[in-house]
Amino acid sequence: MMALSRPAGLLAASQRAINRVLFLVTLAAAALAAALAWLLSGRVTGPISALTRAARQVRSGDLHARATIEVPDEVGTLGEAFNDMADSLIRMTGDLREAAEEEANLRVRIESVMQSIGDALVATDGKGDVVAVNRAAETMFGRSDGTIVGKHLSEVLKGADAEGRTLADLALGGNGASVQAMVVSADGRHLPIALSGSPLRDASGQTVGRVVLLRDVTREQEAERMKSEFLSNVSHELRTPLTPIKGYTEILLRKRFPRDKTEAFLDGIAQSTKRLERIVEILVDFAALEAGRLKPRVQPVDVRAFTAGVVDRWKGMSDRHKIVRKVPAGLPPVLGDERLLRKLIDELMDNAIKFSPAGGTIEISANAVAATGRRRGISGVRITVRDPGIGIEESQMGRLFQDFRQLDGSETRSFGGLGLGLSYARRVAQAHHGDITATSQAGRGSEFSLLLPAAQQLHSAKPPRDDAKKRKGFDRPKPIRRTRPVTAPRTTSGRKKVAAAKAVRRKKPSR
């Protein structure tokens, strides 16, 4: 056995060297491991952090945020899926925004359609609660939208039909058929209506509510009443002249009478025929004016000569009233159809005589109307008919020129008439680009004024001097030859002459 010995100091130094090497190796290994761990964690946690940031941005509303991950592993696949999801969200959000805009536009259109409907419209849900109304419904019920929506229909729609069924039951159970009934508004007014209720269905056909339509038929009933009254008036006015015509004719056919009685009978037939002819002409002209088929054949009409003819004609037809004319010289002629204007003035004169007491004075006058603004001279002529009759109540003035409207609508028919005279007169005036107005007080007479355009303009609005009559267009009107009222001829030869004259007139072309 051999024994080696070394110094203890050398052995300790070697041990320290070995330990140092081991420490350095361990430290290097730890540093390498840390570096490797850092590199590996960066490859994993970096994409995850980017994905987390992108997710937070999307959650805050930035749909264009993307996760930038460029690693070919599962994290990279997850990043691509996240980006695809963000693209899908953008498309879906765009689609939802377009759908919301379309829905909003549709709601606006539906609301516009609802509000534009002149009839009252109420929409309910499946339980009968009101979900929408239009302005016409608010007006009919006398309540605002806020006090109607949300309430049950029975609380809003009050009233019943002729059989006692409530309007709410009719509306919620109807199949679209119209029912006549009376509705009671919030202020207690009773309105005649035509009610119809129809089911509101969804895409699957299930009933989800009701649509109720209520039409105010007040005007329709008034029009029907006026129509019936007009037909009654027409039949009465036609029977009035036909009765004496028929009676006198039957009497003359049965036996011979002395000449004076025969002439009286024939005169009665002639007067009744005139009245009948006037009624028929008014009806025909009114219908033609209403349809736009009758156009005035305008030409210059001398106002003095025209009004003189009116006075002469009505003096021969009414001996119970005094008829006077106040028309200054020098008035310009007016543009008009003399036949239509004569009928218009005849309507005014007929009313003035009909509504004035016996012995009253009927006045027809005319005056020039000065132009306004920058124009100078005379723009038109106003022809006025005044009477001292019963006058017109202020409350009835607004209905004066309405069709088929009679201010005396009583059953006694103390004054008669068709109810078309004044509306016919206004239509004729408007067809001449003129107008007709009325002023009146109950018990103090009436005044009707017809304004017609002048055929030519004057250089000054002042009344013309005497020498102005010599100017062109202002010649003194020729005197009117006064004619006797039409009566039956007194001799057989005279009747033959009249018949021959009528035959010649019938051969002439009519106006």
- pLDDT tens sequence across 218-236: 888 887 887 777 777 777 7
Residue ranges of domains in the chain: 45-116, 118-216, 224-291, 300-480
What class, spelled out in words, does domain 118-216 have in CATH? alpha beta
Tokens 């009928």 belong to residue: 343
What is the fold of 300-480?
Heat Shock Protein 90 (3.30.565)
What class, spelled out in words, does domain 224-291 have in CATH? mainly alpha
Q: In CATH terms, are 224-291 and 300-480 the same topology? A: no
Handedness of CA 480, 485, 488, 491 (dihedral sign): negative
- List own/partner pairs for 231-234 with CB under 8 A and 24 or more apart: 233/406, 233/416, 233/417, 233/418, 233/419, 234/279, 234/283, 234/418
Residue 469 has which token pair? Answer: 């009559």
pLDDT at 420: 76
User: 17-26, 35-44, 311-320, 345-354: lowest mean pLDDT where?
Assistant: 35-44
| Amino acid at residue number 372 | T
pLDDT at 461: 38
- The average confidence (pLDDT) of the chain is 77
336-359: burial string, b at 16+ Cβ within 10 Å, e else: bbbebbbbbbbbbbbbbbbbbeee
pLDDT at residue 428 greater than cutoff 50: yes
User: 247-261, 324-338, 476-490: lowest mean pLDDT where?
Assistant: 476-490
pLDDT at residue 491 greater than cutoff 50: no
Specify burial of residue 377 (Cβ count, 10 A radius: 0-12, 13-18, 19+): middle
pLDDT band at 30 (very low <50, low <70, confident <90, very high): confident
Q: Whose CA is closest to 140, among 153, 156, 127?
A: 156
pTM above 0.85, yes or no: no
CA–CA distances in Å: residue 441 to residues 393, 397, 399? 6, 10, 15
